[in-house]
Structure 1
Amino acid sequence: MISPVQVEAMIKAELADAQVQVQDLTGGGDHYQVTVVSSLFEGKRLIQQHQMVYAALQQAMSSEAIHALSLKTYTPQALKATQ
């Protein structure tokens, strides 16, 4: 089991400027909904943004500490456009 705080820390370790929101969907610590906002996503396609987050969580996902991940990624400008 991995905590939401640990998920957030793993992402921020790779994407230093990231704003991260982590929600445990089941209370069991293995199904998460994560929203990441980072300027490092600028100029990257959505799949590339997701790959960056998956790379940050690779250890937890390969050990199945995270079983399911719902992911939303935004640049700061894209987030403003949705609000």
Structure 2
Amino acid sequence: MLACKRSVTGTMTAALRLLRSNQVVVVSGQQQRCLSTHTDGEVRITKVLKEKFPSAASLKVVDISGGCGAMYEIHIESSEFKGKRTVQQHQLVNQALKDEIQEMHGLRIFTDVPKH
């Protein structure tokens, strides 16, 4: 019984992570898009970054503080990072979010240059 409970708990945790990340899920051989709601902070930060990096090939902002807006994780891929070291790429993101960062406890930034 304990193994079954652990398995169900693990499955529920994985499902919640998928919902939070807004990924595509395959259920019974059919592809379904998980519905997720974005926090006000995620929407605000996404808007700022889209304005600052209009050529971004991909952008994902996730509130990893449980919804309180204290910590975010940002994944951004933009040609504007080409030729810059990682620290310089992160400085560009920090500069774009200078007003928002003042109210945060932490920020994880992942940057990349598009491959194509």
TM-score (norm 2): 0.60
Q: Deviations over 1:23-43 (max 9, x none)?
A: 111211120011010000011
| Matches for 1:1-83 after TM superposition, within 5 Å | 3-18=41-56, 19-26=58-65, 27-61=67-101, 64-77=102-115
Is the CA contact (8 Å cut-off) linking 1:7 and 1:57 kept in structure 2? yes
CA positional deviation for 1:11: 1.1
Between the two structures, name the one with larger relative contact order (CA 8 Å, sep ≥ 6).
Answer: 1
Runs of 4+ in 1 over 3 A off after TM superposition: none
Unaligned runs of 5+ in 1: none
Unaligned runs of 5+ in 2: 1-39
The SS at the match of 1:21 is strand
The SS at the match of 1:16 is coil
- Cα RMSD after superposing both structures: 1.4
Larger Rg belongs to: 2
Q: Percent identity between the aligned chains?
A: 33
TM-score (norm 1): 0.82
**Could you tell me how far apart the structure 1 residues matched to 2:82 and 2:72 are?**
24
Q: How many residues align?
A: 75
